[in-house]
Amino acid sequence: MKSSVVSVLAIVGLLPASDHALAASWSQFRANSRLTGVTSDAPASTLTLRWTYEAGGGIQSSAAIVDGVVYVGSLTGELLAIDLERGTLRWKYTTAEGGSIGESSPAVGGDAVFVGDLTGTVHAVNIRDGRRLWTFKTDGEVKSSPTLVDNLVLIGSYDTHLYALDRSTGKLRWKLETDEPVHATPAVQNGVIYIAGCDEHFRAVRLTDGKTLFDIPLHAYTGASTLVDGDRAYVGTFGAEVVAIDLPGRKIVWRYHDSADDFPYYSSAALDAGRVIVGGRDKAIHAIHATSGKEAWKFVTRGRIDSSPAIAGGRVYVGSSDGKLYVLDAATGQKRWEVDAGSAMTASPAIAAGRIVIGAQDGRIYCFG
């Protein structure tokens, strides 16, 4: 265990399991199908390391937390189900052909958990025992995370397609071809899928049949997933911009560019109290006024930020490649807490039942609360 984390344990001890209810969930990447990255289930203001789990391989996948169980993938090709309170393994599922699980993050719905791997396979796994339910093979890496809506599994592949699969059977319902790999996770609101792509386009796609409703050129490669809130969508690009899109008007209404730096945005944004909050490869976390596109505040770390921020109780939780998990005041950007894990955190935090779970590149999974 890293010395910096050992020091935390030396001060506060590894706390025993509490008896608080485990009802709240973070069921997929960015918490929900609109990819807001926000939950009302705020952790305690003073955080303690509850447990760590050694996965044996790097963690790029962000966790899902449902009914007291943490689901997370690793580069060893294992999907892990870990008890949220105790940090003990309930089961592990090994992907076919040993395919590594990269950035694809599990989504949980009904009796199944879904995830993609770098061989291009989408997996459905029984949440009770880790038994394989079905698999679907694409022709490229799957780094996109699944979104579950209306008995569909929506997921992108590096074979240039966005797929809609039947959640129960894994059968193909429809697929949409784009001009480049589909890296991002699809956001869904009111029967419409919103996704920005590696082909520099932002698309609105009808959920029922995969028909493109409209297409807006972004003029920049986009790896981040889109946040949707009412009539607006927000996404960062490799053109060093965060853009706000008027969905009814089908147009970009503002572009944010930090004049101090010219680095890409890989992190997916969250929205809190009228502020769009996102990490950049300029090593900074940016808060942008949602109405105007003007900077609200900026907090600088020592490493690039590919981790997507999670927000709860007026605080921002985000990992950095400098090996730290940061907690910031969402209104001011003032640092409230940090912990040094000693290894880059490119995965995104998941928050549920008063706990924060995040994995690191050295294969260690952390739970704070």
pLDDT score recorded for residue 19: 28
pLDDT score recorded for residue 261: 77
Least Cα distance to 214 among 202, 228, 204 occurs for 204
pLDDT score recorded for residue 24: 77
CA distances to 9, 26, 90 from 355, rounded to whole Å, are: 17, 11, 18
Cα gap 22→352, rounded to integer Å: 8
CA angle centred on 103, ends 158 and 319, rounded to 5°: 145
Q: Are 241 and 265 in contact (CB under 8 A)?
A: yes
Global pTM reads 0.93
Residue pLDDT tens, the chain, 369 long: 444 453 343 333 333 333 233 347 999 999 999 999 999 999 998 999 999 999 999 999 999 999 999 999 999 999 999 999 999 999 999 997 778 999 999 999 999 999 999 999 999 999 999 999 999 999 999 999 999 999 999 999 999 999 999 999 999 999 999 999 999 999 999 999 999 999 999 999 999 999 999 999 999 999 999 999 999 999 999 999 999 999 999 999 999 999 777 899 999 999 999 999 999 999 999 999 999 999 999 999 999 999 999 999 999 999 999 999 999 999 999 999 999 999 999 999 999 999 999 999 999 999 999
Cα gap 99→61, rounded to integer Å: 14
Amino acid letter for position 175: K
pLDDT score recorded for residue 2: 46
The dihedral sign for the CA sequence 121, 124, 129, 131: negative
